[in-house]
Amino acid sequence: MEHDITIEGGPGETAAPPAPAPAETTSERHGARAMSAAAHALAAETAAALGETEPDPMGQIARAVDRLGVERARAFLTQVQDIETGGGRMLPDGS
């Protein structure tokens, strides 16, 4: 059984340098990792449930979900929704 094999870089030839590694993103340099699809979905659901539309609060929610994990973040969202359904809670200033 014969195979056609081509070998590049014969005598006197040098191999091409390896391709450069992809550039590191800012978030990778700071130790951030990509959020899962479930975490993204929960962050969006939480922002909507809280009526948040501004980028800063939405980013804070996404970071909280990422750090807490989907299960714990969902438990907090459920707790907040239960409190809101029950009429909310008074703040220390009575409001």
Q: Taking a C-beta distance cutoff of 8 angstroms, is the pair 77, 45 a contact?
A: yes
**Start-to-end CA span in the chain (Å):** 86
Name the residue type at position 47.
A
Name the residue type at position 35.
M
pLDDT in tens, 8-30: 555 555 555 566 655 544 444 44
Handedness of CA 16, 23, 28, 37 (dihedral sign): negative
Name the residue type at position 52.
E
For the entire predicted model, the pTM comes to 0.59
**Gyration radius (Cα) of the chain, Å:** 26
* Rounded (5°) CA angle 59-62-65: 150
Domain chopping of the chain, boundaries? 38-85
pLDDT in tens, 65-86: 999 999 999 999 999 999 989 8
